[in-house]
Chain A
Amino acid sequence: MIAFASVAMGGFGSIKGAFFAGVLIGMIEMLFPVFGHLIGWDFLGPHFKFTLVYFAYFIIVILRPQGLFGWKH
């Protein structure tokens, strides 16, 4: 599911997009919980890490419906 989301986030058919989206998803998944722990916010905790990924996907795709590096057909 995460892999599917990462491909869609980068844009279908774009290898560069999939790479950068994968990196971005990894960063969100790992760094946000650490950050949340440091400043003491519970809703950034590790049990919400997938929520953060899906939320990022949602925002990116709303702003750019063809994905980060996708193109319009």
Chain B
Amino acid sequence: MEALRDAFDFRDFSKVEQIILVLFSIFLFIFPWLGFGSFVKTVMIYFLLFSLFGMGWNTIGGYGGQVELGKAQYVGIGAYTVALLMVWWKIPFWVSMPIGVLIAVGYSFMIGYPLFRLKGHYFAIATICTSLVLQDLFINWKLVGAAKGIELPIRDHPDFLYMQFKSDTYYFYFIMVLFFAGLFYMNWFRKSRLGYQLRMIKDDEEAAESLGIDARWCKIKAYSIASAFVAVGGGFLAVFNLYVDPYSVMDLDLSIKIALMAMLGGAGSMWGPIIGAAFLIPLDRFLGSWLGGQKGLIGVDFMIYAAMIMVVSAYQPRGIWGIIEQFRRK
């Protein structure tokens, strides 16, 4: 009960933030009825999906201060579990997604236990290594479709159990529900015991340990929470794209994108990952569709994209949320 009250309690934010949050929620609810096309809807779905990923990354990378660049392996585990169970045994999405999350959490404990002996750069590279090893295994594993990937069977009629719909609107509402669940969870998490312990570990690990916090165990717990978030998003990605292959769901690009969005938005703050995703996903998509197809301008969209990221991170290393706080304090 206490936890629920904490999760829905936004009173410690400023008035402006509360008003923006309410307006944003209303905007999300009515968004599918505003008459935008399929492209804008897809961009919006990806924005919500990546802010979910970013919120997951924020638990370990933001509050815990451990730069973690291997989140794509959990996207892959979630996506592959949903896809394979659907292809092999026709298990509905609503059963296979929790199984995928359980597998991801179990795997994260297995990986996290040895991994959290490491610190700093060693840890970051080790997470990249585990994710690339998993990708290599899936690329060469004939049973799960190898490099070709697997296609999900398409049903004749729209089916709620298998999450196949005619319109993007349904997918939008589903990912919106997940997004709000993640938002309320994060609101509880930052006020929970583990949240405070993680922030202490981020500031000074030795001081935290001398106060009786088991730093390694805290980090493992936060890591598995992050993996659960990401695996949910991965399961959604599988039913949304109806197609899973190691290059799209397990690539290093995806891990770096997840970490980059949370860091650019402002790691360790509640709104950071959401702002980061809101900034980068539309920028990426609209620049790609506007400049990517024009003759003689191929690659310019990536240059602008990278330049924007560099400008923001050079101006304020704490990201966009850091810039906002800087102006607010003046």
Q: 1/0 per position for A46-59, CB-CB distance to B under 8 A?
A: 01101100110110
B140, A54: Cβ atoms closer than 8 Å: no
Q: What CA separation (Å) do A3 and B6 show in the bound complex? A: 46
Q: Which of A4, A50, A57, A58 gathers the greatest number of chain B CB atoms within 10 Å?
A: A58
Q: What CA separation (Å) do A12 and B126 show in the bound complex? A: 14
Q: 1/0 per position for B109-135, CB-CB distance to A under 8 A?
A: 000001001110110011011101100
Given contact pairs A51-B137, A65-B119, A57 touches B129 in the complex (Cβ within 8 A): yes
User: B136 contacts the other chain (Cβ, under 8 Å)?
Assistant: yes
Q: What CA separation (Å) do A3 and B136 show in the bound complex? A: 18
A24-59 contacts to B, CB under 8 A, are: 47-48, 50-51, 54-55, 57-58
B122, A67: Cβ atoms closer than 8 Å: yes
In the complex, what's the smallest C-beta–C-beta distance from A29 to chain B, in angstroms?
13
In the complex, what's the smallest C-beta–C-beta distance from B84 to chain A, in angstroms?
21
Number of interface residues of B (CB under 8 A): 18
Given contact pairs A47-B140, A65-B122, A67-B122, A58 touches B117 in the complex (Cβ within 8 A): no
Q: Which of B128, B129, B139 gathers the greatest number of chain A CB atoms within 10 Å?
A: B129
Q: What CA separation (Å) do A5 and B129 show in the bound complex? A: 8
Query: Which single residue of chain A is at the shortest CB-CB distance from B147?
Result: A47
Given contact pairs A12-B121, A61-B118, A62-B117, A1 touches B128 in the complex (Cβ within 8 A): yes
A51, B136: Cβ atoms closer than 8 Å: yes
Q: What CA separation (Å) do A67 and B121 show in the bound complex? A: 11
A51, B133: Cβ atoms closer than 8 Å: yes
Residues of A within 8 A of B132 (CB): 1, 50-51, 54
Given contact pairs A5-B125, A57-B126, A58-B126, A65 touches B118 in the complex (Cβ within 8 A): yes
In the complex, what's the smallest C-beta–C-beta distance from B142 to chain A, in angstroms?
11
Q: Which 3 A-B pairs have the closest CB atoms?
A: A54-B129, A51-B136, A8-B125
B binding-site residues for A, Cβ under 8 Å: 114, 117-119, 121-122, 125-126, 128-130, 132-133, 136-137, 139-140, 252
Sample 11 A-B pairs with CB under 8 A, ordered by A number.
A4-B125, A5-B129, A8-B125, A51-B133, A51-B136, A54-B129, A55-B129, A57-B129, A58-B130, A62-B117, A62-B118
